[in-house]
Amino acid sequence: MRIFFTLFLLLVILSDCKKDDNSTPQHGTYHMAATNGSSIRVFAKSGEIKDPAIVDRFTQIDNAEISRVSDHMRTFDTIQIIDGNNARLLEFGKYKDFTYVPISKDFNFYNSDTVSGYSSGEVYSRTLSYEICLYKPIVFSEIVVSSTQGAYQFQYKRRKDYYIEKSNNQLVTPWIVFTYHYAGKHDTYSIQNRLDNNFYKSLQSQDTVVMREYSLSCE
């Protein structure tokens, strides 16, 4: 009987823990409190490069630019949870209404706004900025806006999304800042999303990606 009671109690505890992991954020207002960054990581077509000498070389090349871009990655600093599906985010000094739904261990916050941007050489949904995201953005349209001597410029529109995790009564926002080395060039991007660990398979043989993953905590 004692064994049965112990097993039952353990089952209840595990059930409560699982429920807490998947539950909606508690009602209230969360303010951005801290930003944490991982060590520099380096990827090539073959996967993640672990050689300390190579990682250190790219850290010296790209750390300053990645850090500079990360200083500007916040687009909001306050989250108000209204109820189990609705929230308000303070973006650039103005509150906007968002709906949120669970997605894996995170929550997808979205609203009626769209995000517009440009991509060169290929449509956005075939670029590294799309491939590197674990949660692929919903793309509404992709059109050619210019072509000069075979150099294509595309415009895209996608849904505005944020991906935020509930963790220890905090809301944690993942961010990726990376420098993409390709064809003798390099570009640095800031992406609000989780890392797709298989993104490197989309790289060309001579490409290198140098990144740091950030987490922004709201409490």
pLDDT band at 63 (very low <50, low <70, confident <90, very high): very high
Residue 103: count of CB within 10 angstroms of its CB: 12
Residue 15 has pLDDT above 60, yes or no: no
Rounded to the nearest integer, the mean pLDDT of the chain is 89
Please report, rounded to a whole number, the percentage of residues in the chain having pLDDT higher than 90.
77
Q: According to the model, what pLDDT value does residue 5 have?
A: 40
Q: What is the rounded average pLDDT of the residues 44-54?
A: 98
Any idea of the CA torsion for 94, 171, 64, 190, to the nearest 10 degrees? -60
Q: According to the model, what pLDDT value does residue 168 have?
A: 85
Q: According to the model, what pLDDT value does residue 22 have?
A: 53
- pTM attached to this predicted model: 0.86
In 3D, which of 147, 168, 174, 170 has the Cα closest to residue 73? 174
| CA–CA distance, 166 with 169 (Å, rounded to integer) | 7
Q: What is the rounded average pLDDT of the residues 46-63?
A: 98
In this structure, of 4-18, 83-97, 191-205, the range with the lowest mean pLDDT score is 4-18
